[in-house]
Amino acid sequence: MPLLRMFRVFVCCVLALTAMGVCGQNSLANQTIKWDDYTYKFLSTGQSAQVFDSAGKVVGTILSMNGDLQMIPLPGTDEEKLKKSFADWKAFYARSHSAGGSSSAGATATPAASSSNGGPAVPCPSTYGVSYFDGTAWKTMMLAVQMPKEKSVSLSQGFKDMGKNPLNPRAGETMIYRYKDPAAPLTTGPNPSFCVSISANFNPSQIMIGTVDIKKDHREIEQAVSSRDSWLPPKRVQQVDIKRVSETVVVVTPKTPLPPGQYVLGGPPMVGIYDFGVRASQ
């Protein structure tokens, strides 16, 4: 009898562990998960999914192999990027489903921030707005104090505009966007990290970091009226990495160290404009 009782206990434990594994995968059933530049659309079993890129093109398949989800990229895709992104998602999913973690498969919890240039491994805040990492914790940023805009005229821009369209009635016209004080209240190092809260349907590629000119009592950006396709002139835009860590949070980091100077970060109108300065490396 004792032997039979032990056998029954053993069988019950095995069945419980099996059920836990199945439930973990079934929690992905019919889920659509957006992560980085990809979308995972799981089938009803929760053990396979199609993978789409930002353009809606199928770039891979997720299959369960020996109880573990594996990424199988299609030929001609960026296999390394795809597998790296999937590995990051799996790590987040494992953390969020561990004891005391979140139970949401759709990455609604905010995982630790990370970036290709060594971002902080500290969870992003879930509050609305933009935060920066001060070396130990995320701190809330304040919106840039904008001053009244000014109209101006640029001779060099006028020649450019006339070269494209000799009949352009607004050739050479510019708009000057001004920000209070010659320096932002926040100063960071050359490799800052920012957590940005966004809506689930917002395209994070609109978030940019750009340089501003320093004047005696303010900072400003002059932009040609004829070329306002973006909220920042192309020559001012700094290259950034944007990593979506949840449906409503992205981490923004510069691809290369920022030179000393004054900057703005934003993605209007959905994301406001925030300002900061960069000190010289010591």
- 72-88 per-position pLDDT tens digit: 898 888 888 888 888 88
pLDDT range class, residue 212, cuts 50, 70, 90: very high
* Cβ 255 vs Cβ 261: under 8 Å: no
SS3 108: coil
8-state DSSP, 186: -
- 52-67 per-position pLDDT tens digit: 888 888 899 898 877 7
Residue 14, pLDDT above cutoff 80: no
- 145-199 per-position pLDDT tens digit: 999 988 876 655 554 655 566 555 555 688 889 999 999 999 999 999 999 998 8
How far apart are alpha carbons 19 and 43 in whole angstroms?
A: 19
Q: Where do the structural domains in the chain lie, given as residue ranges?
A: 12-96, 130-278
Q: Residue 68 has what pLDDT? A: 82
pLDDT range class, residue 201, cuts 50, 70, 90: confident
Q: Residue 154 has what pLDDT? A: 60
